[in-house]
A and B are shown apart, each in its own frame.
Chain A
Amino acid sequence: MDHLLRLSFFERLKYQLKNLPATFTVSLLLIVTIGFLLLFDAAKGDFFLYTYPQIIKFILGFFAALIIGLIDVRVIYKYSYVMFFVSICLLALVPIVGDMGKGAQRWLDLGFLKFQPSELVKITLILALAKFYHKVNMNNISKFKSIFAALSIIAVPSVLTLIQPDLGTSLLIIMIGLSIMFACGVSKWFFGTIIALGVVAVPIFWNFVMYDYQKKRVLTFLNPESDPLGAGYHIIQSKIAIGSAGFFGKGFMQGTQSHLAFLPEKHTDFIFALLAEDFGMFGSMCLIICYIILILSCVKIAMNNRNHYSSLVAIGVGVCIFLYAFINMAMVTGLMPVVGVPLPFVSYGGTSMLTLMIAVGLVFNAAIQKEEKLPSETRF
Chain B
Amino acid sequence: MFLHNNNKRAKITRRAIFLSLLLTVPFLSVFSRLYFLQIVSAKRYKRLSDKNSLSNKVILPQRGKILDRTGKIIAFNERVFRLNIIPEQTKDINAVLEKVNQLIGIADFEMVKIKKRIKESPSFYSVSIKDIITFKQAAIIEFNIPSLPGVYVDVGLERKYPFKDIGSHLLGYVSSVSKENLYKYKDPMFKIPGFKIGKRGLEEYLNFKLIGKSGMKQLEVNATGRAVKKVAEYEAKDGQDTQITLDYEIQGLVKDKLKDYAGSLVLMNANNGEVLAAVSNPSFDVNDFVNGINEKKWKALLENPKRPLLNRALNGQYSPASTFKMIVALAALAENEVDEDFKVTCTGKIKLGRRFFHCWRLRGHGAMNMKQAIASSCDIYFYELGKRLGIDKIAKYARMFGLGESLDFELFNVKGIVPTRAWKRIRTKTRWQGGDDLVASIGQGYLLSTPLQMAVMTARLGTGKKVVPTIRTGQNLEFEDLDINKSKLKIVQDGMDMVVNNQRYGTAFYRRSRKYRIWGKTGTAQVVSKRFDKHTKLKDIPYEQRTNALYVAYFNNGNTPLALSLVLEHAGSGSKAAGIANKLLDQIIPIIEKHNLELIKIEKKDS
Interface on A for B, CB 8 Å cutoff?
137-139, 179, 182-185, 237, 239-247, 256-257, 259-262, 276, 280-281, 284-285, 288, 291-292, 295-296, 299, 302-303, 308, 311-312, 315, 318-319, 322, 326, 329-330, 333-335, 376
Which single member of B9, B12, B29, B52 contacts A257 (CB below 8 Å)? Answer: B52
Q: Is the CB of B23 within 8 A of A247?
A: no
Distance of A182 Cα from B18 Cα, bound (Å)? 10
**Bound-state Cα–Cα, A239 to B38, Å:** 9
Please indicate the chain B residues that have their CB under 8 angstroms from the CB of A257 in the complex: 49, 52-53
CA distance A335 to B223 in the complex (A): 24
Chain A residue nearest in CB terms to B33: A333
Check if B301 is an interface residue, CB within 8 A of chain A: no
Q: Are A243 and B42 in contact (CB under 8 A)?
A: yes
Contact with A along B221-232 (1 / 0, CB 8 A): 111100010000
* Cα distance, A189 to B156, chains bound together (Å): 80
The residue of chain B having its C-beta at the shortest distance from the C-beta of A242 within the complex is: B37
B94 contacts the other chain (Cβ, under 8 Å)?
A: no
Determine the chain A residues whose CB is within 8 A of the CB of B37 once the complex forms.
239, 242-243, 276, 333-334
> What's the least CB distance linking B126 to chain A, in Å?
21
- With a 10 A CB-CB cut-off, give which of A139, A256, A302 has the most chain B CB atoms: A256
Given the known interface contacts A240-B45, A243-B44, A260-B53, the answer about A330 and B29 at a Cβ–Cβ threshold of 8 Å is yes
Known: A295-B23, A299-B16, A335-B33. A243 touches B46 (CB 8 A): yes
The 5 closest A-B pairs by CB, nearest first: A243-B45, A244-B49, A260-B222, A185-B11, A261-B223
In the complex, the answer to whether B46 meets A296 with C-beta atoms within 8 Å is no
CA distance A244 to B20 in the complex (A): 32
Q: Are A244 and B48 in contact (CB under 8 A)?
A: yes
Please indicate the chain B residues that have their CB under 8 angstroms from the CB of A246 in the complex.
38-39, 42, 46
| A308 and B13 alpha carbons, distance in the complex (Å) | 10
Per the bound structure, the CA–CA distance linking A308 and B19 in Å amounts to: 16
CB distance from B546 to the nearest CB of A (A): 71
**A276 contact set on B, CB distance < 8 A:** 34, 37-38
Could you say which residues of chain B place their CB within 8 Å of the CB of A281? 34-35, 38-39
Q: Are B52 and A240 in contact (CB under 8 A)?
A: yes
**CB distance A312 to B12 under 8 Å?**
yes
B399 at the interface (CB under 8 A from A): no
* B30 close to A330 (CB less than 8 A): yes
A255 (CB) vs chain B CBs: closest residue:
B49
CB neighbours of A243 from chain B (8 A): 37-38, 41-42, 44-46, 48-49
Hey, what's the 0/1 contact readout for B22-36 against A, CB within 8 Å counting as 1? Answer: 011011011101110
Residues on B with beta carbons closer than 8 Å to the beta carbon of A259: 222
Question: Does B288 touch A at the CB level, under 8 Å?
Answer: no
A238 to chain B, nearest CB (A): 10
A183 contacts B49, C-beta separation under 8 Å: no
A-B contact pairs, 7 of them (CB 8 A): A184-B12, A185-B11, A257-B52, A276-B38, A315-B19, A330-B33, A333-B37
Q: Which residues of A contact B91 (CB under 8 A)?
A: none
Cβ–Cβ < 8 Å partners of B52 in chain A: 237, 240, 256-257, 260, 262
A241-B49 in contact (CB<8A): yes
CB nearest neighbor in B for A314: B16
User: A330 to B26, Cβ gap below 8 A?
Assistant: yes
Q: A240 vs B50: C-alpha distance in the bound complex, in angstroms? A: 10
Q: Which residues of B contact A185 (CB under 8 A)?
A: 8, 11-12, 14-15
* Minimal beta-carbon separation of A268 from chain B (angstroms): 17
The residues of A that contact B42 with a CB separation of less than 8 Å are 243-246
Residues B552-590 near A (CB distance < 8 A): none
CB < 8 Å: which of A288, A308, A319 contacts B30?
Answer: A288
B19-A319 in contact (CB<8A): yes
Residues of A within 8 A of B20 (CB): 295-296, 299, 318
**B window 206-224: CB within 8 A of A:** 220-224
Interface string of B321-365 (1 = CB under 8 A from A): 000000000000000000000000000000000000000000000
Min CB distance, A41 to chain B, in Å?
16
Question: Any chain A CB within 8 A of the CB of B7?
Answer: yes
Residues of A within 8 A of B24 (CB): 292
Does any Cβ of A come within 8 Å of B136's Cβ? no
Q: Is the CB of B45 within 8 A of A242?
A: yes
Residues of chain B within 8 A (CB-CB) of A319 are 19, 23
Whether, in the assembled complex, B4 has its beta carbon less than 8 Å from a beta carbon of chain A, the answer is yes
Instruction: For A245, give the chain B residue with the smallest CB separation.
Output: B38
Q: Smallest Cβ distance from B46 to chain A, in angstroms?
A: 5
| Interface secondary structure of B, over-half rule | helix
* Nearest CB on A from B48, distance (A): 5
Contact (Cβ within 8 A) A308 B12: yes
In the assembled complex, B5 has its CB within 8 A of some CB on chain A? yes
Q: Which one of B23, B27, B220, B224 contacts A256 once the chains associate, using CB atoms below 8 Å?
A: B220
Chain B nearest CB, measured from A377 CB (Å): 12
Cα A364 to Cα B220 with chains together (Å): 48
Residue B7 contacts which of A138, A256, A303 (CB distance < 8 angstroms)?
Answer: A138
CA distance A369 to B555 in the complex (A): 121
**CB-CB < 8 A to B27: which residues of A?**
288, 291-292, 326
- Supposing A182-B19, A185-B11 touch, asked if A247 and B33 sit within 8 A by C-beta, the answer is no
Q: Which residue of A lies closest to B15 (CB)?
A: A183
Candidates B9, B15, B16, B224; contact of A261 at CB < 8 Å: B224
Contact call A240/B8, Cβ cutoff below 8 A: no
A183, A280, A296, A302 — which one has the most chain B CB atoms within 10 A of its CB? A183
Q: Which residue of B lies closest to A277 (CB)?
A: B49
Q: Which residues of A contact B228 (CB under 8 A)?
A: 260
Can you name the residue of chain B whose Cβ is closest to the Cβ of A296?
Answer: B20
Within 8 A of A (CB), among B31-82: 31, 33-35, 37-39, 41-42, 44-46, 48-50, 52-53
Extra contacts, 7 of them, besides A182-B19, A330-B29, A376-B5 (Cβ < 8 A), are: A183-B12, A183-B16, A246-B42, A260-B223, A281-B39, A299-B19, A330-B26
**Complex interface: chain A residues within 8 A of B13 (CB):** 303
**Residues of B close to A183: CB separation below 8 A:** 12, 15-16, 19
Measured between beta carbons, the chain B residues less than 8 angstroms from A240 are: 45, 48-49, 52
A246 nearest in chain B by CB position:
B42
Nearest-Cβ distance from residue A291 to partner chain B, whole angstroms: 8
**Please, which residue of chain A has its CB at the minimum distance from the CB of B26?**
A326
CA distance A247 to B46 in the complex (A): 12
Q: Chain B residues near A137 (CB, 8 Å)?
A: 4
In angstroms, Cα B396 to Cα A239, docked, is 75
Q: Bound state CA distance, A281 and B33, in angstroms?
A: 10
Instruction: Please give me the residue from chain B that is nearest to A329 by CB atom.
Output: B30
Among B4, B33, B220, B228, max chain A CB count under 10 A is at B33
Asked if A334 and B33 make an inter-chain contact with CB atoms under 8 angstroms apart, the answer reads yes
Contact flags (1/0) for B134-177 with A, using CB distance below 8 Å?
Answer: 00000000000000000000000000000000000000000000
Residues of A within 8 A of B34 (CB): 242, 276, 281, 284-285, 333
Please name all residues of chain A whose beta carbon is closer than 8 Å to the beta carbon of B38 when the two chains form the complex.
242-243, 245-247, 276, 280-281, 284
Q: A241-B49, A288-B30, A335-B33 are in contact. Are A308 and B16 (CB under 8 A)?
A: no
Please determine whether B26 and A261 come into contact, CB atoms closer than 8 angstroms.
no
Find out whether the CB atom of B16 lies under 8 angstroms from the CB atom of A303. yes
Closest to B228 in A: A260
- CB-CB under 8 A from A242, the residues of chain B are 34, 37-38, 45
Shortest A374–chain B CB gap in Å is 11
Of the candidates A239, A244, A285, A322, the one whose C-beta lies within 8 Å of that of B23 is A322
- The interface residues of chain A lying within 8 Å CB-to-CB of B4 are 137-139
A residues in contact with B41, CB < 8 Å: 243
CA A291 to CA B31, docked complex, whole Å: 13
* Nearest A residue (CB) for B6: A138
**A330 proximity list for chain B (CB < 8 A):** 26, 29-30, 33
- Give the shortest distance, in Å, between B9 (CB) and chain A (any CB): 7
Report which of A247, A261, A312 forms a contact with B222, defined as CB distance below 8 A: A261
